Amino acid sequence: MTRVPTRKDSKGRILRQGEGQRPNGQYYFKFKDVKGKTKYKYSWTLTTHDLPPKGKKSGPCLREIEKQVQRDLFDRVAPSGMTVLELVEKYVATKTAVRPTTRAGYKTVMNFLARDEFGSRKIGDITTLDAKNWLIYLQDELGKSYSAIHCIRGVLRPAFQLAEEDDLIRRNPFNFELATVLVNDSIAREALSPQDERRFLDFIKGDKHYSRYYEAFYILFNTGLRISEFCGLTKSDLDFENGSIRVSKQLQRGSDMRYYIERPKTKSGERYVPMSEEVKKCFKAILQKRANPPAEPVVDGVSGFLLLDKNGMPKVAMHWEKYFQLSLRKHNSIYKKELPKITPHVCRHTFCSKMARKGMDPAKLKYIMGHSDISVTYNTYTHLGFEDVRGDMLRMTDGAA
C-alpha cells in the first residue's frame, strides 16, 4: 500500500486529508459535493487559535468550515446515504487487532443486520425512539434473548458513536442503558449446591455410557478452569510432582471449523492451578485411556492435547457442552427430583462458590480463577446463602456480650 506523504502548513502543522495551503498563505479544503463535483472552501486561518494575516478579514477557521461541510453533506446525502449495515461494516473494518472470537461475534451481528430490515435503514433516519423500539421488537416479536440483544447493541452503539464523532450524525441513537428498555430474561448461572454436585457426579460415575466423561467432569468441578482452558491443556501442562496445572492458553474452534490457540486476555489469566489428589487421579486416568493417534494434531505449534475426538482432533467447548446437556437430560428422565441446568461454566461457578464457602481468601481465589478484577471474585461471595453463613455467624457470635 502506497504511503501518503505528510503535508504541513507554513507553521509546521500537519494538514488533514483534503486540506491545503496556497502560496499566499490562504488555507483551502477540497471536497466533492453530493453530485460528485469537486468544490473548495477557503479561510485565512486553520484553527480557532489563529489570527488572520494583517489586512485580511476574520472569519470561521478552516476546521470549523470542514465540520459544517460534512454536516451539510450528510444532511443532503442521508436519503440515499450510508445504511446501518454499511456503518457497522466500516466500524468492524477498523477493528484490526481483535481476537478471533470477537471477530466471529462481529460477523454474526453483520449477518443478522443483512437479513433484518433495520440494517437497510439510513443512519441519519434513526432516532433514539427507533433504536429502542427495534430492540423491543427483537425481544418481543423475534424472541431474542436479552444477552443476544446485548451483543447486537454492543456493536451498534460504538459504530454509531464513531459516526457521531465523525459528524456523520448529530447524536448516537443507541446511547442509552439497555436495562431501561428491555426485560433482562437472562438466567443466572447459579452454582450447584454441594448435594446437587454430588448427585450429578455419582450418577455420571455409575452410568454405563456417560461414565467415560466422569474424570473430565470432576476436574471441571474441582479446578475452576474455563472450558476453553481445559480443552487447551496438553501433557506438558501437568506437573504431578508439584501438583499443579499450568494454564497459559485456550483452545478455540471458529465457525469455519478452524482450530486456533488464544492466549489469555490479561496477565492474570496465566496461572498455575493446584491439583488435589483426586484431580491428579482423574488426569492420570485420562492420560492412561488416551489413544495415541497416527499423527498428533498440531494447532498453532501446540501439540499433545489431552482429549481427542473420533477424528483424532482436540475436543473443544462444543463437545463438552453437549456431553453435559445429554447426560443431564438422561438423569432428569430417570429421577423425579431433577437437577438444574449444568454447563461447563456452571462447573466453574460452582467451584468458585465452593471455595468461597470454605473461607478461601478472595485474593487467592482471584488468582486460581484467573479473574482480572477482584470485584468479579467478590461477586461470588455475595451469592452465598443463609446456610453458607449461618455456621460462621453463630461461631463468631457465640458467647458475645
Nearest C-alpha neighbor of 100 from the set 318, 260, 319, 315: 260
| Grid cell at residue 221 | 468441578
Please answer whether residues 315 and 192 qualify as being in contact, where contact means their C-beta atoms are separated by less than 8 angstroms.
no
| Cβ neighbours around 398 below 10 Å, total | 7
Partner residues linked to 21 by β-bridges: 27
**Whole-angstrom Cα distance, residue 160 to residue 122?**
12
Catalytic residue among 265, 284, 322, 390: 265
Mark out the alpha helices in 188-316 (DSSP H runs): 194-206, 214-223, 227-231, 277-289
**Whole-angstrom Cα distance, residue 132 to residue 23?**
52
Catalytic residue among 91, 213, 218, 226: 226
Q: Can you list the positions of beta strands (E) in 167-314? A: 238-239, 244-247, 250-253, 259-262, 271-274
Please answer whether residues 251 and 275 qualify as being in contact, where contact means their C-beta atoms are separated by less than 8 angstroms.
no
Active site residue 226: yes
Active site residue 3: no
Catalytic residue among 28, 260, 367, 381: 381
Dihedral in degrees, nearest 10, Cα atoms 118, 122, 127, 132: 10
| Grid cell at residue 391 | 455456621
Angle at alpha carbon of residue 161, lines to 157 and 166, rounded to 5° = 155
Active site residue 345: yes
Burial class (CB within 10 angstroms; exposed 0-12, middle 13-18, buried 19+) of 345:
middle
**Whole-angstrom Cα distance, residue 366 to residue 348?**
13
Q: What is the DSSP string of 373-393?
A: SHHHHHHHHTT--HHHHHHHH
**Whole-angstrom Cα distance, residue 347 to residue 350?**
5
Please answer whether residues 213 and 327 qualify as being in contact, where contact means their C-beta atoms are separated by less than 8 angstroms.
yes
Catalytic residue among 345, 367, 378, 383: 345
Active site residue 381: yes
Active site residue 171: no
Active site residue 71: no
Could you say which DSSP state residue 4 is in? P
**Whole-angstrom Cα distance, residue 93 to residue 106?**
10
Catalytic residues: 226, 265, 345, 348, 371, 381
